[in-house]
Amino acid sequence: PLPATQIHQMLQQQWGDALLQRLHVIGRIAANLGTPAYLVGGCVRDFLQNHPVPDIDLAIEGDVRAVAEACSAELSGVQCTYHAHFGTAILQYPDGFQLDLARCRIEHYPAPAALPEVQPAAIQTDLIRRDFTINAMAISLDPEKFGDFLDPYGGRADLQRRLLRVLHPHSFLDDPTRILRGLRFAVRFQLQLEANTRGLLEEALTQDIFARLSGARLWRELKYLLELSDLPAALEELGAWQLWPLLRPTPLEVESLLAKIRRGQQEIRWLHCHFPDEKLCDTAVLLTILWRDIPWAEAEKRLHYWPVADGRYILNDLHRLSKIPAALAAASHPSAVAQLWESLSLPGILALLAEYPESATITESGRYYLLKQRGLTSPLNGKDLQAMGLAPGPQLGTVLRRLHDARLDGAIKDKETARQWLIRQGILPSTQP
């Protein structure tokens, strides 16, 4: 076991005197109210691995609000925000430092994958509601036993052996998001599934457990996974955990997929370099690459449940993408080429560029479209045309589209050249002033 004195020393070395002092003060204030405080969860895990100061979570054995308000009253400049619904509080220090406080609680799951019912509890019970042993450790901030290390489930030993272990057999069924959380921890900290936990995972997967989760909760976890800096490891692990079906119906060969994803990331960087203000949904590029070869209905089914920004553009792109290369090769005018690119959303364009790095036709026309043609409009608008004597109606729309094409083809560049072009086309009489 780790003695309190050693924890104290390690905290001082890793987190520094100023932060340690803040923790001492909170520990004292909480103890005075008869509601002890503990460091808990991910920050203890990260501390034991000597990772940089993480987000710090405190568990309070009792009324969180009273502790947060007492801290705010006693400590000058410290703001407290209390969230009654969650029984949590945030302490905001003047230098931007933040502490998250939550009440120790026990959770009861009325049905698999349902949201839990919650009741106040002691720290030992609070720890058992957590996802993995490595996240179920605490450090006391109580003045009497500051630095006491609580590790009832062997989280420290599991960290040292690099094992990911759930705390009880029902864990994944209670909350399937733990499976994706676990996958992330496995990738971030290079952990293996402990044998029994692997068995529980396999059992949970036979029960179609993710179908009971709301799409929003599932998507949030998948998005975290896709955003991991070590995406190659995340995708490898996704296969090892047999979780490809969450993302797509069939597994993909990771190496070639990764090559495409890397090219997609290069395209994203290229775009940001040329258009620093452009808003782009990176995830849409990734999903388009991931879903290029799957039946459209499979993508639609997923996007129906996941709140992906720009989801409908992804579906539109998936419909069109396969026809675009041949159509580009056949297009004769710059305006025809531009129209093909225009039929895609920006993420769809980047996904296509990432898919065909060898094709000069696609690369060159795509870049030309993005740099020179996108956003070009007709120099004359509907009002201008009406002022020139054209009647309102559908034919006005046709003229505007032709003007737009003429601009893309380089036949016109401003109002005057557009007017002359309209005369040459017989759309305006040559007597126009």
Give the binding site for ligand ATP (CB under 6 A): 41-42, 54-55, 57, 130-131, 135, 175, 177-178, 181
What DSSP letter does each residue of 236-290 carry, written as one string? HHHHHTT-HHHH-SS---HHHHHHHHHHHHHHHHHHHHH-TT----HHHHHHHHH
Identity of the residue numbered 351: A
Residue 47 buriedness (CB in 10 A; 0-12 / 13-18 / 19+)? buried
What is the distance between the alpha carbons of residues 38 and 21, in angstroms, rounded to a whole number?
A: 14
Question: Which CB sits closer to ligand ATP, 54 or 152?
Answer: 54
Distance CA 125, CA 292 (A): 47
CB 44 within 8 A of CB 147: no
Residue nearest ligand ATP, Cβ-based: 42
Nearer to ligand ATP, 151 or 175 (CB): 175
Provide CB contacts within 8 A for 359, sequence distance 6+.
325
**In whole angstroms, how close is the CB of 199 to ligand ATP at the nearest point?**
19
Shortest gap between Cβ of 302 and ligand ATP (angstroms)? Answer: 22
DSSP-assigned beta bridge partners for residue 120: 105
Q: How far is the CB of 276 from ligand ATP (least distance, A)?
A: 30
Q: Which is nearer to ligand ATP, 126 or 317 (CB)?
A: 126
Residue 136 Cβ vs ligand ATP, minimum distance, rounded to whole Å = 6
What's the min distance (Å) between Cβ of 175 and ligand ATP?
5
CB atoms within 10 A of CB 152: 14
Half-sphere exposure of 344 (CA within 13 A, CB side): 28
Q: Which is nearer to ligand ATP, 178 or 302 (CB)?
A: 178
Contact 55, 100 (CB under 8 A): yes
Query: 89 or 284: whose CB is closer to ligand ATP?
Result: 89
Q: By C-beta, is 130 or 407 nearer to ligand ATP?
A: 130
Nearer to ligand ATP, 115 or 329 (CB): 115
Helix 346-355 × helix 311-321 angle, to 10°: 40
User: Cα(365)–Cα(371) distance, rounded to whole angstroms?
Assistant: 10
For β-strands 79-83 and 88-92, DSSP reports them as antiparallel
Residue 95 CB, nearest distance to ligand ATP (Å)?
Answer: 21
Residue 27 or 41: which CB sits closer to ligand ATP?
A: 41
